[in-house]
Each structure stands twice: as structure tokens, then as C-alpha cells.
Amino acid sequence: MNSLKPFTFSKRFPNMPIIGSSFAGSLDHVIPLSYGFPAPESFPLETMVAATELAMKNQGFGAMSYSGGTGPSNIVKWIQKRSQLRGVHADDNQIIVTAGSMQAIDLVARTLTDPGDEIWIEAPCFFGAIRTFNLAQVNLRSFPIDENGIIVEHVEKALIEATLQQKPIPKILYIMPNYHNPGGVNLSVDRRKKLAELAYAYNFFILEDDAYVELSFEGTYLPSIHSFAPERVIYLSTFSKVIAPGIRLGWAIGLSDIINKIRILKTDGLTSVYVQEVVYNVLEQLDIEEHIRYLSNTYKSRKEAMVEAITEHFGDEVSFVSPEGGFFLWLTFPPGVNTSAFVEAAMTAGVSYLDGQHFFLDDEGFNTMRLCFTYCSEEKIKEAIKRLADTYVQYIRTLPMEEAN
Amino acid sequence: MNSLKPFTFSKRFPNMPIIGSSFAGSLDHVIPLSYGFPAPESFPLETMVAATELAMKNQGFGAMSYSGGTGPSNIVKWIQKRSQLRGVHADDNQIIVTAGSMQAIDLVARTLTDPGDEIWIEAPCFFGAIRTFNLAQVNLRSFPIDENGIIVEHVEKALIEATLQQKPIPKILYIMPNYHNPGGVNLSVDRRKKLAELAYAYNFFILEDDAYVELSFEGTYLPSIHSFAPERVIYLSTFSKVIAPGIRLGWAIGLSDIINKIRILKTDGLTSVYVQEVVYNVLEQLDIEEHIRYLSNTYKSRKEAMVEAITEHFGDEVSFVSPEGGFFLWLTFPPGVNTSAFVEAAMTAGVSYLDGQHFFLDDEGFNTMRLCFTYCSEEKIKEAIKRLADTYVQYIRTLPMEEAN
């Protein structure tokens, strides 16, 4: 048809930069520190086969059907029990299994907000959440983090001002309390308590994204924000970090009223019951404590290798908080450095990273960078940091003198 | 906290009746003709195990990772090739794999419409689609089907009127062309062509939901609507009917521009790459043609058993089109009969069905009923229809004389 008329699509699509070449890094010669991936050699491939065999034998027809009502109960009970260890106490009917915690972020956002409502976030903030909130057509406002997580005083001040000026209170405050992506920091217990108080006082929900909680290098765990405000926190986590991301299995925990609304909004049906039953069997067969210990030890060593290499090659040129768990190390360069400016050069030199600006709402964070220490071996990490330092030195030489200091 | 304040949730939640007891039918004594499920004994359980073994061996890390860009290419190529047999010709980049076709319905609706836009549907219409469209906050309008599918003249008349009166043209016309759920009918080729013309002329998209296309009793296939209007049709299908619904794997095919927008809106990430790789291996190992033939033959026999039992027990009291494929038989009772009125009595008697009103927008379809002939054995179907007839006779006795005729 030559006469095809233009069609007016939904207005909900934001004009956001796609995270492009810096994220891909899939060329053979590139060591990808940009990926936010677990160590691929940690995936329990053989256990997946055994677990599938068991699922087909034990849950058989059930695992392949739509299943009834709210889905398989085994994995929900596992999540329920595990969450108690993290200070999240909930009934079965307060838990919904989702396609990764990413789907939960979307469903919670659209359950609690209408277009034009406010969601407040951290700066920096996981770019996937920013993108999802933009597609929900809400207004976003961000608050800086320091080495103890979001600076709660800024949030409280903004809430007071909004109240005085009769401006909108947020419906959601999105927080990643443990091993922040990308900041690598933990939210202090005092701030958790204070946020919980604010949520009750100002009547908003905290969306507590606890994707990395299990990956504690020292086996220590801070109380969840949920434990201080169970009626005003929706708690998210995922199997992506402790089993594998490709299975796409996460969950949300909250008041049953809210979880029921989320079930209605989740029009794709139950999350693959097949995957739920297989993963439940994996959890039964794997000795998950041992597996998590192995992951944490591996990641701790890799982080240490990265920190050592950064100290060796960058010296005082960068600052960072050494993370106590999780996936990410967040570098801050001197003001005037623009990490977006040498993404391509780094790729050519054989290393990829994520330039910091993707984690901010506005034109901010140009002198920051996210490095992932979990995907590559220690050897590769050391080589990658060396390449990154070489690239950086080349870049610095191109800067006017006053900006480079 | 005693002082918990009420929270204002999103306005998007519709006040729709939940399909309740009639759908559940999970009591031991109940033969569920309400379920829209495949025959559970048809699920390829052993092949799933072998396919998982292969996926862990061959696709290993890839199957457990986030994978790159648009996801595993194997299954997309399979879908591409299969679709050609159904008259749908598309490049790789025109195909997106979704969590069942249900997720595709949601993503397409929210890609093409904003709240307040129009979506036009069939009457009756798959209740899952109605629910999804309501959550997208669009205005719905329905057009009746007859034994040849949607009555296109009614649609054309409405388009002409809307144009003359400067009222909104729909953004989407949602059509199930083959073995309609719940109607059991096929859309005639002439009407397919006419709809394609209308889509171009009035510049709307046809959402062609072809979930049941593979289940042809006689191995015959009508050309897809997509083949007549590739630039104004988004074509959906699913593995739910030919492999198993519990895996949750479907797809959408359309212009690459639209598929790219859908990828952005699909913020849950790629559909489980693990499931995609496993199912690809199932398709390789299973002899899918043979499997589909087995399903079609099984379902044909079950349909015939159901038709025979209905003819025996109901005689001329009901009318229906005998479906040439798919899952469903759609009964129309005399005017004045309300099938919602004896759902509970039928459950007590040991049979469940879906009362027709759930498939309509307004207070319509009270004298209709959807029966699924695929889930239960012929023996059970015969017994179920007998129980249904007994219940119906009891119900009819409660009606005033003039309504019962």
C-alpha cells in the first residue's frame, strides 16, 4: 500500500537514550565490566536438568498447566520462609511471583499511581526502574545518596515543603537498600527507620528493591525497611542473582489488598508455572546456603581484585565506597571528567563500563561510572582495569588543564 | 499502626465481576467443562526433560543469562518459518516473544492506545482480552459474530458513522479469526479481506489473535488477515495450545516499528530465555507435526462426543455451530434462559461451564454458554453433558411458562 497513513501511537513512550554500545560490549576482545550479570560459571546447569526431571515427575501436569488461582504454592512457601530471615513477615496471600523483579516494579508502579502522580527515587538509580517509571507517565524527582544510602533529611525536607505548598506527595519512594545498584552502598539502619516513619506520616509507599540482599560478603544483614513499616512497604526480590537471571523469576510482598490488585493488573497470567516448579526443585536440591556462600566468596574475591587494581592504576584519581556485597562498584572521577566521552575508546581498548549519566534523571553524574565485578574472572578484571586506566590517561590528555583537576 | 490513612490507588482498576466458582470447578466430583485447557495427558513431559538437558548442554550459559538484545534467535526463526505456513511473512525483527499471547495483547493495547481511545471487539469476546483492554482504560465497543465470524457490515457502518459524526475511529479491532473463543466459528475469507481493506482505509490496526490456528481437525487453514494487510495487522499466537500453557510462551508479529515500541514497553526484560531455549529444543525433538496431528485427532473425537451427547440430551433446545478446530463449543439457549442462574446447581450436580455473560460488554448473552471439549476424556464429556442436561431441566421447571419457550 503506497497510501499508508501515519498512525498516532500511545503518548507513553519517553524520549530516553537507549543504553547502547557501552552496554553491549559483546565483541570478543572486550572484557565486559558493563554487564550487570552473575558469574555465568555459577549457574547450576546440572541441577536444572535434575530439577526439571523431578518437576515433570512430581508436579507433571500441574507444572505444564495454567495451574489454579494464585499458582504453585511450593515456591511461595519457600519465599515466605526465606523472607523471614530478612525480616519480612508475610502470609502466602501477600506474595506474588513475577517475571523477575522488573515486572514487579512495573506492576507496583501502575497499581499505586496514575499518570501525573509522583514517584521519588534515589540519585543515582537503577536505570531499568527509571525507564519503567517513565513509561508509567509519572513525574520523577530524585534525591542524592551518600555512603549510607539516600540522604533522608533531603526527602523529609521535600515532604514538608510539598505539604506546605500543597504540592503532590509521592505515591512511591523507590529504594534499593542493600548493595545499591549502581552506588554499591547500604542504607543505614537509622535511615531505614526514618524512611519507615515518613512513609506512615506522609502516607506513601516505599518500594524496597532488595535484589542483592543475599550476596553479603560477610554474611551480615540489616533489617529490611519492610520490618519497620509492613503496611507501607512493598518488598521486592529475585532469583536472578542467586540462581540465574535467564529464568526470570522474582517476587513482590505487600499488603494482601495491594497484591490482589497486582494480580488483576498482571494480565499475562501466572508467571510460568513450569519455571516456578523447576526452580522450587532447584532450591530443594541445591543446598542454597552453600551455593550462596560460594557466590559471595567468589564475588568478594573479585571485588577485592577490582579494588586492588583500581588503587594500583588510578590511585587518588577516583573515589568509591568499597561494597560489602552485591555486583557493583561505583567510581567518582574529578569534576570535569565526562565518562561518556571515552566509552568508545575503552571499547576499542577492550573494556566496557556503564557511564554514570544513565543512572540520573537530569544532566548529572557525568564524572561517575558503574563497574560490575561479578561477571568476569579476577584475571580479566585486573586486565580490564589496566585497559580502562590506559584509556583514561589518553582521555585526560585531551582535556583543557583546568578541567582535568 | 492504628493511624493508617486510606491510600488512593490507581484509577485503572475496573469494576468487573471476577469469573468465580464457574471457572474454578476444582472440586473432585466436578467434571470441568469450564476450563479452557488442553488435554493434560498430551503434555510432552519426557521431551521437556530431554530438551532441558540439551539446553543446559548446548545453550548452557546463554539459556540462563539475560541474553543479548532481542533474545534467543533459534525460537524466533522457528516462529518465523511456522508463520509462513499460516500466510504471515515477517523478518526476525518483526517478531517478539512474550509471556503467552496474553502479554502480547496487553503490550499491543498500551503501545497503540492511550486511555480514552477506542478498541472495538467481537461479541462474544475472549474475557481475558476484555479485562486487559479495560485495564488499559480504553473505550470498548462490540460487534456481533455469526457463523462466519464478526459481521463486517456492522463494523463498516460504524466506521462510516464515526467518520461522518467526527467521532473517534478505533485504534484497534481485536479479532479471533480461527476457532473463535468462545464462539467456535471461523471468520470467512471474504470478511478477512474486507476487514483488511477497512483497516487501511480507516487507518486502524487489527489485532489478530490466532491462538488456536494449529488445532484444525481437517488440516485446513484459511489465509490470515495479516496476509491481506501486513502493515495494519498485528498477529498473535502461542505455544499454549500445542505444547502447554504453563510454560507461558507466545508471540506478536507486526511492523518492526511497532515491535520495537513493544520491546521498550516490555519492561520485565526478555521473556524467560531459559524457557525459550528449552521449548526450542522441544520443537526440534518432538516431531511437532505428528504431535499436532495427535492433538487435533484427540480433540476432534472429543468434540464429536460432546456434540453427540448434546444432541441426545438437549435435542432442539440449544443451537450451536459445530467447530472445525480449537477448544470450544458455544451453546445458545432459548431467549429467557439465564445460564448464570444454574452455575451453582451444575457444580452441585458435578459439572462446570462458563456462563456466556462473561464474554460480553453489557448485560447480554445470558442465554449462552461456553463448553470446553479438550480437557476431559470422551467418557467424562458424555457424563458431564448428561449432568448438565439434568440440571437444565431442573432449572427450566423454575421458569415462568412464557419464558421457557
ipTM: 0.94
Please give the pLDDT value at position B16: 64
Strands A139-146 and A149-150: antiparallel
Please give the pLDDT value at position A1: 47
pLDDT in tens for each of the 405 residues of chain B?
A: 457 889 999 999 977 655 554 455 467 899 999 989 999 999 999 899 999 988 888 887 788 887 668 899 999 999 999 999 999 999 999 999 999 999 999 999 999 999 999 999 999 999 999 999 999 999 999 999 999 999 999 999 999 999 999 999 999 999 999 999 999 999 999 999 999 999 999 999 999 999 999 999 999 999 999 999 999 999 999 999 999 999 999 999 999 999 999 999 999 999 999 999 999 999 999 999 999 999 999 999 999 999 999 999 999 999 999 999 999 999 999 999 999 999 999 999 999 999 999 999 988 999 999 999 999 999 999 999 999 999 999 999 998 866 544
> Do the chains contact at A200 and B274, CB–CB below 8 Å?
no
Find out whether B357 and B316 touch, Cβ atoms under 8 Å. no
Q: Which of B43, B98, B114 sits opposite A10 (nearest CB)?
A: B114
Cα distance from A386 to chain B (closest Cα, Å)? 26
Please give the pLDDT value at position A59: 81
Find out whether B212 and A32 touch, Cβ atoms under 8 Å. no
Q: Return the DSSP state at A57.
A: I
3-state secondary structure chain B: CCCCCCCCCCCCCCCCCCCCHHHHCCCCCCEECCCCCCCHHHCCHHHHHHHHHHHHHHHHHHHHCCCCCCCCHHHHHHHHHHHHHCCCCCCHHHEEEECHHHHHHHHHHHHHCCCCCEEEEEECCCHHHHHHHHHCCCEEEEEEEECCEECHHHHHHHHHHHHHCCCCCCCEEEECCCCCCCCCCCCCHHHHHHHHHHHHHHCCEEEEECCCCCCECCCCCCCCCHHHCCCCEEEEEECCCCCCHHHCCEEEECCHHHHHHHHHHCCCCCCCHHHHHHHHHHHHHCCHHHHHHHHHHHHHHHHHHHHHHHHHHHHHHCECCCCCECCEEEEECCCCCCHHHHHHHHHHHCEECEEHHHHCCCCCCCCEEEEECCCCCHHHHHHHHHHHHHHHHHHHHCCCHHHHC
Please give the pLDDT value at position A95: 98
Whole-angstrom distance, CA of residue A150 vs CA of residue A143? 7
**Residue A47 corresponds to which cell in the numbers above?**
541441577
- Among A255, A193, A247, residue whose Cα is nearest residue A230: A255
Please give the pLDDT value at position A321: 97
A182: pLDDT strictly greater than 50: yes
Q: Sign of the CA dihedral A54, A71, A171, A206? A: negative
A253: pLDDT strictly greater than 70: yes
| Single-letter amino acid code for the residue at B195 | L
Cα distance from B366 to chain A (closest Cα, Å)? 25
* Percent of chain A at pLDDT exceeding 90: 85
Contacts of A99 in chain B (CB under 8 A): 99, 268-269, 271-272
Q: Which of A114, A200, A274 sits opposite B247 (nearest CB)?
A: A274
Full set of structural domains in chain B with CATH: 21-44+289-400 (3.90.1150.10), 70-269 (3.40.640.10)
| Single-letter amino acid code for the residue at B186 | N
pLDDT in tens, A6-22: 999 999 997 765 555 44
> Do the chains contact at B245 and A132, CB–CB below 8 Å?
no
The whole-model pTM stands at 0.95
> Do the chains contact at B41 and A61, CB–CB below 8 Å?
yes
Cα distance from B395 to chain A (closest Cα, Å)? 29
Measured between CA atoms, the residue of chain A closest to residue B241 is A65
Give A301's contacts (C-beta < 8 A, 6+ positions apart): A378
> Do the chains contact at B245 and A106, CB–CB below 8 Å?
no
Give A97's contacts (C-beta < 8 A, 6+ positions apart): A71, A75, A76, A79, A249, A250, A251, A270, A271, A276
pLDDT in tens, A156-179: 999 999 999 999 999 999 999 999
> Do the chains contact at A267 and B102, CB–CB below 8 Å?
yes
**Residue A322 corresponds to which cell in the numbers above?**
568499597
Average pLDDT along chain A = 93
Planar angle of CA A302, A306, A311, nearest 5 degrees: 150
Measured between CA atoms, the residue of chain A closest to residue B265 is A135
Cα distance from A276 to chain B (closest Cα, Å)? 10
Q: Which of A46, A61, A103 sits opposite B43 (nearest CB)?
A: A61
Whole-angstrom distance, CA of residue B350 vs CA of residue B185? 28
Within a 10 A sphere around the Cβ of A405, how many other Cβ atoms?
9
Contacts of B41 in chain A (CB under 8 A): 61
The partner residues of A319 in beta bridges, in order of sequence, read A332
Find out whether B352 and B30 touch, Cβ atoms under 8 Å. yes
Measured between CA atoms, the residue of chain B closest to residue A136 is B265
Q: Which of B48, B62, B267 sits opposite A128 (nearest CB)?
A: B267
Whole-angstrom distance, CA of residue B327 vs CA of residue B338? 23
Cα distance from B248 to chain A (closest Cα, Å)? 5
**Residue A2 corresponds to which cell in the numbers above?**
503506497
pLDDT in tens, A73-123: 999 999 999 999 999 999 999 999 999 999 999 999 999 999 999 999 999
A405 band by pLDDT with thresholds 50, 70 and 90: very low
The partner residues of A120 in beta bridges, in order of sequence, read A141, A173
Please give the pLDDT value at position B191: 98
Whole-angstrom distance, CA of residue B216 vs CA of residue B195? 23
Instruction: Identify the weakest region by mean pLDDT among A192-206, A281-295, A389-403, B321-335.
Output: A389-403
Q: Which of B40, B60, B135 sits opposite A265 (nearest CB)?
A: B135
Cis status, amide bond into B182, omega within 30 of 0: yes
Measured between CA atoms, the residue of chain A closest to residue B102 is A268
Contacts of A63 in chain B (CB under 8 A): 246
φ, ψ (nearest 5 deg) of residue A145:
-105, 155
A404: pLDDT strictly greater than 50: no
Please give the pLDDT value at position B28: 82
A402 band by pLDDT with thresholds 50, 70 and 90: low
